[in-house]
Protein backbone atom coordinates (compact mmCIF):
# COMPACT_ATOMS: atom_id res chain seq x y z
CA UNK A 1 0.00 0.00 0.00
CA UNK A 2 1.42 3.37 -1.07
CA UNK A 3 1.10 6.65 0.86
CA UNK A 4 1.17 10.25 -0.29
CA UNK A 5 1.03 13.70 1.26
CA UNK A 6 -1.74 16.04 0.16
CA UNK A 7 -2.00 19.66 1.26
CA UNK A 8 -5.09 21.80 0.88
CA UNK A 9 -3.42 25.15 0.34
CA UNK A 10 -4.31 28.51 1.96
CA UNK A 11 -6.43 29.73 -0.96
CA UNK A 12 -8.61 26.60 -0.82
CA UNK A 13 -8.99 26.94 2.96
CA UNK A 14 -10.01 30.61 2.59
CA UNK A 15 -12.54 29.67 -0.09
CA UNK A 16 -14.11 26.94 2.05
CA UNK A 17 -13.07 24.04 -0.19
CA UNK A 18 -11.52 21.67 2.38
CA UNK A 19 -14.54 19.38 2.58
CA UNK A 20 -15.09 19.26 -1.19
CA UNK A 21 -11.45 18.31 -1.79
CA UNK A 22 -11.35 15.65 0.93
CA UNK A 23 -14.67 14.26 -0.32
CA UNK A 24 -13.22 13.68 -3.79
CA UNK A 25 -10.40 11.57 -2.36
CA UNK A 26 -12.74 9.66 -0.05
CA UNK A 27 -15.21 8.97 -2.84
CA UNK A 28 -12.37 7.66 -5.00
CA UNK A 29 -11.74 5.10 -2.27
CA UNK A 30 -8.48 6.30 -0.74
CA UNK A 31 -7.95 5.68 2.94
CA UNK A 32 -6.97 8.53 5.25
CA UNK A 33 -3.96 7.70 7.42
CA UNK A 34 -3.48 11.19 8.86
CA UNK A 35 -5.29 14.52 8.86
CA UNK A 36 -4.57 17.85 10.53
CA UNK A 37 -5.31 21.56 10.24
CA UNK A 38 -2.35 23.87 10.82
CA UNK A 39 -0.63 27.09 9.95
CA UNK A 40 2.58 26.15 8.16
CA UNK A 41 5.64 28.05 9.38
CA UNK A 42 8.63 29.10 7.25
CA UNK A 43 10.73 26.18 8.50
CA UNK A 44 8.20 23.58 7.32
CA UNK A 45 7.66 25.43 4.02
CA UNK A 46 11.41 25.62 3.48
CA UNK A 47 11.77 21.88 4.07
CA UNK A 48 8.81 21.07 1.82
CA UNK A 49 10.03 23.17 -1.08
CA UNK A 50 13.76 22.61 -0.55
CA UNK A 51 14.14 21.05 -4.03
CA UNK A 52 13.09 24.42 -5.49
CA UNK A 53 15.46 26.56 -3.40
CA UNK A 54 17.12 29.22 -5.53
CA UNK A 55 14.43 29.24 -8.21
CA UNK A 56 12.57 32.48 -8.92
CA UNK A 57 9.26 31.14 -7.57
CA UNK A 58 10.70 29.74 -4.31
CA UNK A 59 10.27 32.79 -2.07
CA UNK A 60 6.78 33.72 -3.34
CA UNK A 61 5.75 30.06 -2.89
CA UNK A 62 6.99 29.97 0.72
CA UNK A 63 5.24 33.30 1.42
CA UNK A 64 1.99 31.98 -0.05
CA UNK A 65 2.10 28.68 1.84
CA UNK A 66 2.69 30.48 5.15
CA UNK A 67 0.00 33.13 4.51
CA UNK A 68 -2.86 31.16 6.07
CA UNK A 69 -3.86 27.80 7.47
CA UNK A 70 -3.67 24.58 5.46
CA UNK A 71 -5.02 21.08 5.80
CA UNK A 72 -2.42 18.30 5.64
CA UNK A 73 -3.38 14.70 5.00
CA UNK A 74 -1.77 11.39 4.27
CA UNK A 75 -3.73 9.19 1.90
CA UNK A 76 -3.05 5.58 1.10
CA UNK A 77 -4.09 3.20 -1.62
CA UNK A 78 -2.88 1.35 -4.69
CA UNK A 79 -0.86 3.74 -6.87
CA UNK A 80 -2.22 6.59 -4.74
CA UNK A 81 0.54 9.02 -5.79
CA UNK A 82 -0.20 8.73 -9.49
CA UNK A 83 -3.96 8.73 -8.98
CA UNK A 84 -3.93 11.77 -6.67
CA UNK A 85 -1.75 13.67 -9.14
CA UNK A 86 -4.26 12.88 -11.91
CA UNK A 87 -7.17 13.95 -9.71
CA UNK A 88 -5.43 17.24 -8.88
CA UNK A 89 -4.86 18.11 -12.53
CA UNK A 90 -2.08 20.08 -14.17
CA UNK A 91 -0.05 22.41 -11.93
CA UNK A 92 -1.15 25.34 -14.08
CA UNK A 93 -4.94 25.50 -13.69
CA UNK A 94 -5.25 26.90 -17.22
CA UNK A 95 -4.04 23.49 -18.45
CA UNK A 96 -6.02 21.42 -15.94
CA UNK A 97 -8.88 19.34 -17.28
CA UNK A 98 -12.44 20.03 -16.16
CA UNK A 99 -13.29 17.48 -13.49
CA UNK A 100 -9.85 17.72 -11.89
CA UNK A 101 -9.53 19.61 -8.61
CA UNK A 102 -7.47 22.40 -10.16
CA UNK A 103 -9.57 22.39 -13.31
CA UNK A 104 -12.71 22.93 -11.25
CA UNK A 105 -11.46 25.25 -8.51
CA UNK A 106 -8.12 26.93 -9.27
CA UNK A 107 -7.60 30.00 -11.44
CA UNK A 108 -3.93 30.90 -10.96
CA UNK A 109 -0.72 28.88 -11.06
CA UNK A 110 0.55 30.64 -7.92
CA UNK A 111 -2.68 29.82 -6.03
CA UNK A 112 -3.45 26.35 -7.31
CA UNK A 113 -5.47 24.88 -4.42
CA UNK A 114 -3.58 21.63 -3.62
CA UNK A 115 -0.17 20.02 -3.29
CA UNK A 116 0.51 16.32 -3.71
CA UNK A 117 3.74 14.34 -3.55
CA UNK A 118 5.02 13.68 -7.07
CA UNK A 119 6.89 10.42 -6.42
CA UNK A 120 7.38 7.76 -3.75
CA UNK A 121 10.68 9.43 -2.82
CA UNK A 122 8.97 12.81 -2.42
CA UNK A 123 6.23 11.25 -0.30
CA UNK A 124 8.82 9.64 1.99
CA UNK A 125 10.56 13.02 2.36
CA UNK A 126 7.42 15.14 2.72
CA UNK A 127 5.17 13.13 5.05
CA UNK A 128 7.53 13.43 8.09
CA UNK A 129 7.56 17.24 7.69
CA UNK A 130 3.92 17.25 8.80
CA UNK A 131 3.31 13.97 10.63
CA UNK A 132 5.10 12.06 13.35
CA UNK A 133 5.01 8.30 12.81
CA UNK A 134 2.64 7.92 15.80
CA UNK A 135 0.16 10.33 14.18
CA UNK A 136 -0.39 8.02 11.20
CA UNK A 137 -3.07 5.41 11.76
CA UNK A 138 -3.03 1.93 10.26
CA UNK A 139 -6.44 0.31 10.04
CA UNK A 140 -8.46 -1.82 7.70
CA UNK A 141 -11.67 -0.64 6.09
CA UNK A 142 -13.98 -3.51 5.26
CA UNK A 143 -14.96 -1.78 2.03
CA UNK A 144 -11.33 -1.80 0.81
CA UNK A 145 -11.71 -5.27 -0.65
CA UNK A 146 -14.43 -3.90 -2.95
CA UNK A 147 -12.45 -0.93 -4.26
Task: Render pLDDT for 40-83 as a digit per residue (tens, 0 to 9).
Answer: 999 999 999 999 999 999 999 999 999 999 999 999 999 999 99
Kindly state whether residue 17 falls inside one of the protein's structural domains. Answer: yes
83 in any annotated domain: yes
Predicted model pTM: 0.94
**Residue 146 belongs to a domain:** no
Rounded to whole angstroms, the Cα distance separating 9 from 86 reads 17
Q: Coil, strand or helix: which one is 147? A: coil
Q: With DSSP H G I counted as helix, E B as strand and the rest as coil, what are the percentages for the chain, rounded to 5?
A: 50, 20, 30
Catalytic residues: 115
Q: Is residue 89 a part of any domain in this protein?
A: yes
Q: What is the DSSP letter of 34?
A: E
Instruction: Provide the residue range defining the domain that includes 91.
Output: 2-137
pLDDT of residue 85: 98
Residue 145 falls inside a structural domain: no
Amino acid sequence: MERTLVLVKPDAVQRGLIGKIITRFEEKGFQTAGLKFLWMDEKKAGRLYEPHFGKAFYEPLVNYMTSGPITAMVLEGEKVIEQVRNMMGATNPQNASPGSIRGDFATRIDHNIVHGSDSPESAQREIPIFFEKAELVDYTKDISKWI
